[in-house]
Amino acid sequence: MNPPSAPLDRPAVVLHRTRPVLLAAVATLLALHWLLAVGSKRTESVTADELAHLTGGFTYWHFNDYRIQPENGNLPQRWAALPAWLEGAKFPDPPGNPYWRTSDAWILGHQFFYETGEDHFPRLMAGRAMIALFSVATGLLVFCWSRRLFGPAGAFVSLGFFVFCPNFLAHGALVTSDVCMVFFFLASVGAYWRHLHDPRVRWWVLSALLFGLACVAKFSAGLLLPMMIVMALVRSWAPEPLQFAGRTFTTRGGKLGALALSTFGQGLVAVLVIWAFFGFRYTAFNPALPGADHFIRPWETTLNNIGAQGDLIRRLAAWHVLPEAFLYGYSFVIEMSEFRSAFLDGAYSVVGWTRFFPLAFLYKSTLPLLLACLMAGGAVLARWRRSAAWAAVRGDLYRVTPLLALFGIYWIVSLRLHLNIGHRHILPIYPVLFIFVGVLGRWLTWRRPAAALVVAVLLGWQVREALHIYPDYLAYFNPIAGGPENGHRHLVDSSLDWGQDLPGLKAWLDAHAAGEPVYLSYFGSGEPDYYGIHARRLPFINGFKISQPWVQLQPGVYCISATALEHVDSPIRGEWTPALEKEYQWMRSFEPVFEVYFRDPVRRAALDREASPDKWKRAWTRHDQLRFARLCHYLRVRQPDAQIGYSILIYRLTAAEIAAATTGSLTDWQALIDRTVNRGAP
């Protein structure tokens, strides 16, 4: 979508017209990408965010109400939920539902998925298939960009790396906004750059619409504004005249003024698009439905936590400049991005690290892509050395200005982000890299057999990486990180463990643990009971409204999600301190009382007179958290007996292990850990 220009490096053979075989090859590769992405999800349970996304999108269509999940993109949620809405899926009745009044996407989602009597999985798969179309469209853009720059051979190199990228195969068919926003980033910068060089109205309209759609895809669309500014500055600096609105501008000031006016007009179109997606109604809550006490998190609390931006949003809300749900969603995203539990290489933080995304990129990118990027960089530098002219370098950089703006600004902002919860947040940089490695297409010629072989080996290696990890794409880690089996030591949450492996766990338990006691600590929004996993529940990350009972630990099979094992979202994380040990030993004195409380209704009534049920619940919850944290400190040094999709770790624990890890003295516990570490040492 960039303007016509000479490629950086012309391939040996230039195809002057698109041939049917080329179209067929592109279609086949993109279809294969869709099949791999969607097919890999047939054996995966709902990932953590999918439940809320699909629920929110359904309520937008069905109720014309926007209280549910407005912080995660109206467009992708609507798009994914469209099949469920068209088929008339059953939704919990809002009247009398307290979670509708409090806008609780998670509990309403649990009801929608598991409590209506309808099977949620077909509609979930339909939503995944819909989102995968955005991934396919991204691949098509990658091909078109690369073909414009490097010709057909380079375009197929770029497309090959995209089609078989484990990270896009992982997220390309999930009901989230991530890949949808990747598409709109790439499409928007391309359309805007084309508009800067082509005065025809259709390019202005296309750029404006894509920007507007990006704004309702994800709130990170705000980064398009500095990208547009960079492109406008570069265009105004270029010597070529600028044509806009029937006039020609030749001075830098005139060009900048015209582009400022043009971009302002596109902003007005974007505002119109936003209003359209929220039904041209300010209030998020449909007045024909039961009212709301508040959004899932009271808006005033959120506004008070985001400083000057909160004051600005109050004014915008008072003037009804944008829909209420859109303004609330933006506020929520800003607040959540400031402090969020994060994990990296065994360390914990709530404000993140500058190194998080660079290391995530290093761990989660395939080695063939990393090598291809290095080789492509070398090829470009060699071209510039041969040309020995700044004009050639400047011309090359000018042609890829939108890609450089996207890549550079996104990386700069990512490095400053406190929201270090997933590698998926840097997916928008990958299409730029896929396009960049298209320069290696120049090597695919009979005159350079050795170089052609190297490119072919890299592409074959990329294909192998995708096929070898199938269907566990979310768990992909390259050998630098020790492979997927060691991924949980580096990254968790949506980089590895998003709750997707309940079906695999059920299959393993049926085959290897029939009749044994099973304990489960699960991270995600899936419901183990739906899969017939009847386990004693250890602390869950997402427990929803299911009460956590008292559980006595016995020898058996312990199934621990990687995110739970690393205690990312637990109030007890990091080192096990003397203070925690003292508190835990004191809490252990209540274990006989907890046992009686759950087993004897008569004694429970008496105990409830001594302290409220809420206080008893808080007490055993705190005890559970301490006990589970102590156990996980041991499990983190112990090799698992099995891994389910690399995201759920299985441990067969003996009575001696349980005793030393949870009921023994601090000396017993430390001795168990030391023995385990020494046993595993080379």
Q: pLDDT tens-digit profile of 278-312?
A: 999 999 999 999 888 999 999 999 999 999 999 99
**β-bridge pairing 518-521 and 536-537:** parallel
Residue 490 lies in a domain: no
Average pLDDT, integer, range 156-164: 98
| Alpha-carbon distances, residue 564 vs 14, 235, 377, 568, 579 (angstroms) | 54, 50, 40, 7, 22
Instruction: Decide: 467 and 396 in contact? Cβ < 8 Å.
Output: no
Instruction: Decide: 84 and 127 in contact? Cβ < 8 Å.
Output: yes
Instruction: Could you list the beta-strand ranges (E) of 366-453.
Output: none
Q: What is the total count of domains within the chain?
A: 2
Residue 165 lies in a domain: yes
What is the structure's pLDDT at 457? 97
Q: How far apart are CA 73 and CA 176, in angstroms?
A: 9
Q: Is there a single domain that holds both residue 267 and residue 375?
A: yes
Residue 463 lies in a domain: no
In sequence order, the 6+-apart residues with CB closer than 8 A to the CB of 600 are none
Q: How far apart are CA 455 and CA 434, in angstroms?
A: 13
How many other C-beta atoms lie within 10 A of the C-beta of residue 240?
Answer: 9
Q: Is there a single domain that holds both residue 316 and residue 207?
A: yes
Last residue of a domain, one of 434, 466, 483: 434
632 pLDDT above the threshold of 50: yes
Q: Is there a single domain that holds both residue 44 and residue 191?
A: yes
541 pLDDT above the threshold of 70: no
With CA atoms as reference, report the closest residue to 162 among 562, 513, 438.
438
Q: Is there a single domain that holds both residue 410 and residue 507?
A: no
Instruction: Decide: 182 and 424 in contact? Cβ < 8 Å.
Output: no
What is the structure's pLDDT at 544? 60
How many other C-beta atoms lie within 10 A of the C-beta of residue 259?
Answer: 23
pLDDT above 70 coverage of the chain, percent: 96
What is the structure's pLDDT at 19? 78
Using DSSP, state whether 347 is helix, strand or coil.
strand
Q: How far apart are CA 488 and CA 496, in angstroms?
A: 7
Residue 423 lies in a domain: yes
Average pLDDT, integer, range 441-447: 88
Q: How far apart are CA 221 and CA 234, in angstroms?
A: 21
Q: Is there a single domain that holds both residue 419 and residue 506?
A: no
Torsion angle of the four alpha carbons 148, 151, 153, 159, in this order, in degrees rounded to the nearest 10: 0
Q: How far apart are CA 234 and CA 565, in angstroms?
A: 49
Residue 473 lies in a domain: no
Domain interval for residue 639: 501-680
| Alpha-carbon distances, residue 634 vs 164, 347, 491, 565, 674 (angstroms) | 38, 17, 19, 10, 9
What is the structure's pLDDT at 277? 98
Which tens digit of pLDDT belongs to each residue from 475-524?
A: 999 999 999 999 999 999 999 999 999 999 999 999 999 989 999 999 99
Grade residue 386 by pLDDT with cuts at 50, 70 and 90: confident
14 pLDDT above the threshold of 60: no
Which tens digit of pLDDT belongs to each residue from 647-659?
A: 999 999 999 999 9
User: Which of 99-103, 178-182, 568-572, 660-664 is least confident?
Assistant: 568-572
Q: Exposed (0-12), middle (13-18) or buried (19+): which is 199, by Cβ within 10 Å?
A: middle
How many other C-beta atoms lie within 10 A of the C-beta of residue 641?
Answer: 13
What is the structure's pLDDT at 650? 98
Q: Is there a single domain that holds both residue 165 and residue 308?
A: yes
- AA identity, residue 191: A
What is the structure's pLDDT at 423? 96
Residue 31 lies in a domain: yes
Q: How far apart are CA 62 and CA 66, in angstroms?
A: 11
Element (H, E) at 109: helix 105-114
What is the structure's pLDDT at 17? 52
pLDDT above 90 coverage of the chain, percent: 81
Q: Is there a single domain that holds both residue 25 and residue 105?
A: yes
The tokens describing 297, both together, are 């998190």
In sequence order, the 6+-apart residues with CB closer than 8 A to the CB of 442 are 9, 10, 11, 12, 150, 151, 153, 154, 379
Last residue of a domain, one of 434, 462, 478: 434
Which residue's entry shows tokens 């090597």? 443
Q: Is there a single domain that holds both residue 543 and residue 638?
A: yes
Grade residue 10 by pLDDT with cuts at 50, 70 and 90: very low
pTM for this one? 0.94
Q: Exposed (0-12), middle (13-18) or buried (19+): which is 125, by Cβ within 10 Å?
A: middle
What is the structure's pLDDT at 13? 40
pLDDT top residue among 5 and 47: 47
What is the structure's pLDDT at 543? 62
Instruction: Decide: 496 and 488 in contact? Cβ < 8 Å.
Output: yes
Radius of gyration, alpha carbons of the chain: 27
Q: Is there a single domain that holds both residue 507 and residue 428?
A: no
Average pLDDT, integer, range 605-630: 90
Grade residue 540 by pLDDT with cuts at 50, 70 and 90: confident
What is the structure's pLDDT at 574? 87
Which residue's entry shows tokens 């220009």? 5
Q: How far apart are CA 179 and CA 409, in angstroms?
A: 18
Instruction: Could you list the beta-strand ranges (E) of 385-517.
Output: none
Last residue of a domain, one of 413, 434, 455: 434
Average pLDDT, integer, range 149-172: 97
Grade residue 446 by pLDDT with cuts at 50, 70 and 90: confident
85 pLDDT above the threshold of 50: yes
682 pLDDT above the threshold of 80: no
Grade residue 136 by pLDDT with cuts at 50, 70 and 90: very high
What is the structure's pLDDT at 7? 39
- The angle subtended at Cα 379 by Cα 386 and Cα 231, nearest 5°, is 90
What is the structure's pLDDT at 2? 41
Q: Is there a single domain that holds both residue 214 and residue 354?
A: yes
Residue 391 lies in a domain: yes
What is the structure's pLDDT at 11? 38
603 pLDDT above the threshold of 60: yes
With CA atoms as reference, report the closest residue to 250 among 262, 242, 261, 260.
242
Residue 476 lies in a domain: no
Q: Is there a single domain that holds both residue 524 and residue 390?
A: no
Q: Length of the chain, please?
A: 682
